[in-house]
């Protein structure tokens, strides 16, 4: 199937937002482009923007490949996305509050109970638990794809510890260094204020008992975590301490960090550790990454966790299929961003359809991530499909199926020159006590292999800078 | 600042200083062993090098004999020895990475760049020329790191902890050089040894890059009691014990003032400095250089522990 190319559409005519870029790409020599590509790689390595891939024998530090050709969005496209994102995240927060509160949506039968209570990341500890200012998801990464000029689909909601924003920021810095001429010819909305927006958001959600200038920290699992670079990058840009579990202690249900001047109170923790590892006294007792007693402080309302504990109830792939209904239920509005058609294999009709059309569908694990454990029917050989069929029949509740979308493509540097490659977009939505803040664009992820639809960095995907053109 | 951050910065400085020190020792040893035996005496200089690095026990667990190959491998390239040059630079970079936010871009650039370049050196075997190049490179990188810290860090507690690490390590290193060669450092009355030891004293001075400085300070030919004076008591000499402690007291005072209180580290540092200030070489020789240095190394370690207990844990 022909994919919608964001530069040349379906008919080959250059879309207005790409006008200048298309001309520029036609005129630039392959050598010049290659040289900038190499410069970018060198800069990434010297700055140390690397990550470790789990399961690799040597755990060498790798670079996420960066493609120097930007992805361009026109102002009206972004307006639509922005409104849709705000709506979606509002609904998500209302849903989570309801799930750990009155459960109206379950009573109304809109979402089946088992989906919630049998979800391994549902946290009974959060039942009836108040959170500061009633907010659960302060930082959301909503993955967006499109198949034509008008329609944007949400592919996935990430409401636990979404990552990638450091790449969004560093990509822009590097592009500014490499292509000042292009920036002079386009009015690209800046993204560099993301750290300010994030800090304002985090401070706004401090507990009401905190001081006028709340202390915010970023809690990281440490240097061996694959996303460590981003943790240190963000802490640096935010001007806050980067702490590990062992730097914090809880005394009298208040959280403190160990400083050279003695313990200092902490009010807001931007935590990049999963719920499971947060507190060995409340969750996994073998976790060396967490802070004993953190949940006690949290329950007493003495510290804010961003994102809250238990937000995973909103971001698995089964709940995803109910999102349009969820938006309608809490906001009384039609969803602005579409959902991809989804067949739930927990339902007999969904399972039957999926088994019948396995070669055409994309089948994903409900609790999977990183692009692992999924089947892309049209690309898989007969043996893989057969094996997957067995997996599916053995545990249907664990899977959902979606049609193979022809994701849009954007021109990308490849071995043979420049060619279209499939992309998605991850904008980051910040919800504070006062308002929702969204920095224009987000992280564009690109599948570097021809025809591949897998954009995840852990499986060889790359990234691009995303330009939202000001009017 | 976070205790762990201060701890990392402190150790980062120590490891970079240690790497440079090892490079100097190896370079000085290379020079010495290039001389005919008639000029240097019968000591196994390579064995001395290991002793100066404080690794004798660990060395003989891995190797039976101390010679050029085994010692350069152990002190420069070994991944098994946690105090080899290679290990020091690896640990330094790991420390730096853990506290990137506390370092300036320039500092990170140097330490990360050094680490990336280190990979290119491989694991040998190396010719003498390659080894010499490597040792030069280590010293240059260490200077760049120190220089970037000095030139770009804000003068706050992060900077002061970095200086504390460097100074404690430096004092320890200088003391060790003196300790291994103490039998060469003779008081004016004794004339045993004579011209044979000249090259040894020169080697000692070279390893603390003080050969030329000596002449400017003393304006005499090399005399062992003046070599000892230069390295122990003379506060013009940046690597001397006196100079290290003058600065340790200064930086600990700055930290004390910034934090609004003084503690055991400040008191201990002052006590050690006072002892140095009030010492004269005659008294040190009377007590015995070896004993004096031994006491100093122990005191220096005690200060390191006091700093760790007060600030870094």
**A246 neighbourhood in chain B, CB within 8 Å:** 4
Structure tokens at A276: 């499971």
Nearest to A259 among B1, B101, B108 (CB): B1
Burial zone of A53 (CB within 10 Å; 0-12 exposed, 13-18 middle, 19+ buried): middle
Please state, in angstroms and rounded to a whole number, the distance separating the CA atoms of residues A285 and A436: 36
A438: closest CA of chain B, how far (Å): 25
Q: Kindly list the domain boundaries of chain B, sorted by start residue.
A: 1-153, 164-313
State pLDDT tens for residues B108-164: 999 999 999 998 887 777 888 899 999 999 999 999 999 999 999 999 999 999 999
Q: Do B157 and A246 touch (CB under 8 A)?
A: no
Whether A411 and A398 map to the same domain: the answer is: no
B107: closest CA of chain A, how far (Å): 11
Of A384, A403, A422, the one marking the end of a domain is A403
pLDDT, residue B209, reads 84
Beta strands A152-158 and A338-339 are parallel
B313: closest CA of chain A, how far (Å): 8
Of A360, A383, A403, the one marking the end of a domain is A403
pLDDT, residue A318, reads 85
Residue A462 lies in a domain: yes
Q: Do A48 and B108 touch (CB under 8 A)?
A: yes
Cis peptide before B125 (omega within 30 of 0): yes
Residue A346 phi/psi, 5-degree rounding, is -70, -25
Structure tokens at B95: 């420390």
Cis peptide before A307 (omega within 30 of 0): yes
The mean pLDDT of A163-179, rounded to a whole number, is: 93
Nearest to B98 among A46, A223, A257 (CB): A223
Structure tokens at A356: 């019948």
pLDDT, residue A55, reads 53
Residue-wise burial string across A228-238, b where 16 or more C-beta atoms lie within 10 A, e elsewhere: bbbbbbbbbbb
The structural domain count of chain A equals: 2
Check pLDDT > 90 for residue A1.
no
- The owner of tokens 């005191």 is B299
pLDDT, residue A53, reads 57
Interchain CB contact of A244 with B (< 8 Å): yes
**DSSP classification of residue B283:** H
State pLDDT tens for residues B66-84: 999 999 999 999 988 999 9
More confident residue, B309 or B286: B309
CB A223 within 8 A of CB A230: no
Check pLDDT > 70 for residue B187.
no
Beta strands A375-376 and A361-365 are antiparallel
**A242 neighbourhood in chain B, CB within 8 Å:** 2, 99, 101
Per cent of chain B over pLDDT 90 is 61
Nearest to B311 among A232, A257, A260 (CB): A260
Whether A307 and A359 map to the same domain: the answer is: no
A461: closest CA of chain B, how far (Å): 24
Task: Using pLDDT thresholds of 50, 70 and 90, give the confidence band for residue B193.
Answer: low
**B113 neighbourhood in chain A, CB within 8 Å:** 46
Please state, in angstroms and rounded to a whole number, the distance separating the CA atoms of residues A33 and A92: 42
Beta strands A66-73 and A462-468 are parallel
Probe site for chain A from B1, B4, B165 (most A CB atoms < 10 A)? B4
Strands (E), A16-65: 50-52, 61-63
Please state, in angstroms and rounded to a whole number, the distance separating the CA atoms of residues A16 and A285: 57
Task: Using pLDDT thresholds of 50, 70 and 90, give the confidence band for residue B39.
Answer: low
More confident residue, A283 or B199: A283
Residue A92 lies in a domain: yes
Check pLDDT > 80 for residue A268.
yes
Check pLDDT > 50 for residue A58.
no
DSSP 3-state assignment of A418? strand
A259: closest CA of chain B, how far (Å): 4
The mean pLDDT of A117-127, rounded to a whole number, is: 93
Interchain CB contact of B3 with A (< 8 Å): yes
Q: Could you give the ipTM of this predicted complex? A: 0.76
Q: Do B116 and A45 touch (CB under 8 A)?
A: yes
The three-point CA angle A442-A444-A445 to 5° equals 140
Interchain CB contact of B15 with A (< 8 Å): no
State pLDDT tens for residues A300-350: 999 999 999 999 999 988 899 999 999 999 999 999 999 999 999 989 999
Q: Which of A254-268, A374-388, B28-42, B251-265 has the lowest mean pLDDT?
A: B28-42
Angle at which helices B157-180 and B224-232 cross, to 10°: 160
Of A403, A436, A455, the one marking the end of a domain is A403
CB A99 within 8 A of CB A113: no
Please state, in angstroms and rounded to a whole number, the distance separating the CA atoms of residues B165 and A270: 31
State pLDDT tens for residues A394-443: 999 889 999 988 899 999 998 888 999 999 999 999 999 999 999 999 99
Residue A213 lies in a domain: no
Whether A348 and A449 map to the same domain: the answer is: no
Could you write out the DSSP letters of every residue in A299-355? HTTSSEEESPTTGGGGSSHHHHTTHHHHHHHHH-S--SSEEPP-EETTSHHHHHHHH
**Which chain A residue has the Cα nearest residue B106?**
A47
- The owner of tokens 């995907």 is A461
**CATH number of the domain bearing residue A357:** 3.30.1490.270
Whether A448 and A432 map to the same domain: the answer is: yes
pLDDT, residue B119, reads 84
Residue A367 lies in a domain: yes
Could you write out the DSSP letters of every residue in A152-195? EEEEEEE-SS---HHHHHHHHHHHHHH-HHHHHHS-BPP-TTHH
Neighbours of A415 (CB within 10 A): 6
pLDDT, residue A405, reads 85
Whether A121 and A53 map to the same domain: the answer is: yes
**Which chain A residue has the Cα nearest residue B261?**
A261
B4: closest CA of chain A, how far (Å): 7
CB B54 within 8 A of CB B64: no
State pLDDT tens for residues B233-255: 999 999 999 999 999 999 999 99
User: Rounded to 10 degrees, what is the CA torsion of A304, A287, A98, A316?
Assistant: 120
Residue A162 lies in a domain: yes
Nearest to A260 among B1, B98, B109 (CB): B1
Residue A231 lies in a domain: no
Task: Using pLDDT thresholds of 50, 70 and 90, give the confidence band for residue B191.
Answer: low
CB A289 within 8 A of CB A275: no
Angle at which helices B241-259 and B289-307 cross, to 10°: 20
**A257 neighbourhood in chain B, CB within 8 Å:** 2
Residue B99 phi/psi, 5-degree rounding, is -130, 40
Nearest to A260 among B97, B98, B157 (CB): B157
**A226 neighbourhood in chain B, CB within 8 Å:** none
Please state, in angstroms and rounded to a whole number, the distance separating the CA atoms of residues A314 and A119: 10
Whether A326 and A362 map to the same domain: the answer is: no
Whether A160 and A65 map to the same domain: the answer is: yes
Interchain CB contact of A242 with B (< 8 Å): yes
**A48 neighbourhood in chain B, CB within 8 Å:** 97, 100, 108, 112
Interchain CB contact of B233 with A (< 8 Å): no
B294: closest CA of chain A, how far (Å): 31
Whether A43 and A137 map to the same domain: the answer is: yes
Q: Which helix (H) or strand (E) holds A217?
A: strand A216-219
More confident residue, A149 or A436: A436
Neighbours of A254 (CB within 10 A): 18
pLDDT, residue B38, reads 67
Interchain CB contact of B257 with A (< 8 Å): no
Whether A122 and A134 map to the same domain: the answer is: yes
B310: closest CA of chain A, how far (Å): 8
More confident residue, A468 or B35: A468
Helix, strand, coil percentages in chain B from 3-state DSSP, rounded to 5 = 75, 0, 20
pLDDT, residue A406, reads 87
More confident residue, A253 or B204: A253
Interchain CB contact of A48 with B (< 8 Å): yes
Count interface pairs A-B at CB distance under 8 A. Answer: 50
Residue A126 lies in a domain: yes
Task: Using pLDDT thresholds of 50, 70 and 90, give the confidence band for residue B185.
Answer: low
Q: What is the pTM of this model?
A: 0.82
B180: closest CA of chain A, how far (Å): 36
Whether A129 and A158 map to the same domain: the answer is: yes
Nearest to A247 among B4, B101, B109 (CB): B4
Whether A322 and A388 map to the same domain: the answer is: no
Probe site for chain B from A260, A263, A289 (most B CB atoms < 10 A)? A260
Check pLDDT > 70 for residue B192.
no
Strands (E), B193-264: none
DSSP 3-state assignment of A121? coil
Burial zone of B31 (CB within 10 Å; 0-12 exposed, 13-18 middle, 19+ buried): middle
Residue A281 lies in a domain: no
Q: Which residues contact A175 (CB under 8 A, 6 or more apart)?
A: A68, A70, A182, A183, A465
Question: What residues make up the domain containing A347?
Answer: 343-403
pLDDT, residue A57, reads 45
Q: Which residues are registered as beta bridge partners of A304?
A: A268
């Amino acid at each position: 199937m022909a994919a919608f190319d964001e530069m040349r559409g379906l008919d080959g005519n250059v879309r207005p937002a790409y006008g200048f870029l298309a001309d520029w790409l036609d005129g630039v020599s392959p050598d010049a482009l290659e040289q900038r590509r190499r410069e970018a790689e060198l800069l990434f390595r010297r700055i140390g923007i690397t990550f470790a891939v789990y399961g690799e024998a040597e755990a060498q530090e790798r670079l996420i490949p960066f493609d120097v050709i930007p992805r361009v969005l026109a102002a009206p496209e972004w307006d639509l996305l922005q409104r849709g994102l705000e709506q979606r995240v509002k609904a998500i927060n209302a849903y989570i509050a309801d799930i750990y509160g009155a459960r109206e949506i379950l009573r109304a039968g809109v979402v089946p109970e088992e989906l919630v209570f049998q979800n391994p990341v549902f946290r009974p500890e959060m039942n009836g638990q108040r959170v500061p200012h009633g907010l659960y998801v302060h930082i959301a990464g909503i993955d967006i794809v499109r198949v034509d000029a008008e329609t944007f689909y949400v592919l996935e909601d990430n409401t636990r510890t979404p990552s990638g924003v450091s790449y969004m920021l560093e990509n822009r810095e590097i592009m500014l260094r490499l292509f000042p001429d292009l920036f002079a010819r386009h009015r690209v909305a800046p993204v560099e204020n993301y750290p300010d927006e994030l800090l304002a958001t985090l401070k706004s959600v401090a507990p009401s008992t905190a001081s006028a200038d709340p202390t915010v920290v970023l809690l990281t699992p440490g240097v061996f975590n694959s996303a460590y670079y981003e943790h240190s990058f963000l802490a640096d840009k935010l001007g806050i301490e980067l702490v590990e579990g062992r730097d914090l202690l809880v005394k009298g249900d208040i959280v403190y960090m160990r400083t050279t001047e003695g313990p200092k109170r902490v009010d807001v923790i931007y935590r990049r550790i999963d719920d499971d590892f947060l507190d060995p006294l409340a969750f996994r007792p073998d976790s060396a990454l967490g802070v004993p007693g953190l949940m006690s402080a949290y329950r007493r309302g003495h510290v804010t966790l961003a994102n809250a504990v238990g937000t995973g109830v909103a971001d698995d792939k089964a709940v995803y299929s109910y999102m349009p209904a969820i938006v309608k239920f809490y906001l009384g509005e039609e969803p602005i961003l579409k959902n991809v058609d989804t067949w739930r294999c927990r339902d007999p009709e969904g399972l039957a359809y999926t088994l019948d059309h396995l070669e055409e569908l994309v089948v994903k694990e409900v609790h999977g991530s990183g692009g692992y454990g999924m089947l892309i029917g049209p690309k898989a050989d007969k043996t893989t499909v057969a094996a997957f069929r067995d997996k599916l029949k053995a545990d249907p509740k664990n899977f959902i199926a979606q049609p193979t979308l022809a994701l849009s493509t954007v021109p990308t540097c490849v071995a043979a020159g420049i060619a279209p490659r499939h992309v998605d977009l991850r904008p980051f939505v910040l919800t504070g006590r006062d308002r929702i803040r969204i920095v224009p664009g987000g992280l564009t992820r690109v599948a570097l292999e021809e025809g591949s639809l897998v954009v995840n960095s852990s499986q060889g995907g790359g990234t691009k800078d995303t330009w939202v053109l000001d009017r | 600042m976070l205790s762990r951050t201060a701890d990392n910065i402190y150790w980062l400085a120590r490891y970079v200083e240690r790497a440079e020190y090892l490079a100097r020792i190896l370079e000085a040893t290379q020079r010495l062993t290039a001389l005919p035996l008639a000029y240097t005496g019968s000591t196994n200089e390579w064995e001395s090098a290991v002793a100066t690095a404080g690794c004798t026990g660990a060395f003989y667990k891995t190797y039976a004999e101390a010679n050029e190959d085994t010692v350069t491998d152990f002190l420069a390239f070994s991944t098994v020895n946690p105090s080899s040059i290679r290990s020091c630079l690896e640990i330094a970079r790991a420390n730096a990475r853990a506290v990137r936010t506390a370092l300036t871009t320039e500092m990170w650039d140097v330490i990360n760049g050094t680490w990336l370049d280190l990979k290119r050196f491989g694991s040998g075997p190396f010719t003498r020329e390659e080894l010499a190049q490597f040792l030069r490179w280590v010293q240059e990188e260490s200077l760049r790191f120190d220089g970037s810290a000095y030139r770009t860090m804000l003068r706050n507690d992060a900077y002061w902890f970095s200086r504390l690490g460097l100074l404690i390590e430096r004092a320890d290193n200088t003391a060790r050089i003196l300790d291994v060669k103490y039998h060469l450092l003779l008081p004016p009355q004794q004339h045993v040894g004579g011209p044979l030891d000249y090259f040894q004293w020169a080697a000692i001075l070279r390893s603390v890059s003080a050969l030329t400085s000596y002449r400017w300070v003393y304006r005499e030919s090399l005399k062992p009691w003046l070599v000892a004076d230069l390295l122990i008591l003379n506060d013009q000499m940046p690597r001397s014990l006196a100079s290290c402690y003058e600065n340790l007291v200064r930086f600990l005072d700055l930290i004390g003032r910034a934090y609004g209180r003084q503690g055991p580290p400040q008191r201990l540092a002052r006590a050690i400095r006072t002892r140095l200030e009030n010492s004269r070489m005659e008294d040190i020789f009377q007590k015995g250089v070896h004993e004096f240095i031994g006491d100093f190394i122990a005191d220096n370690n005690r200060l390191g522990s006091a700093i760790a207990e007060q600030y870094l844990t």
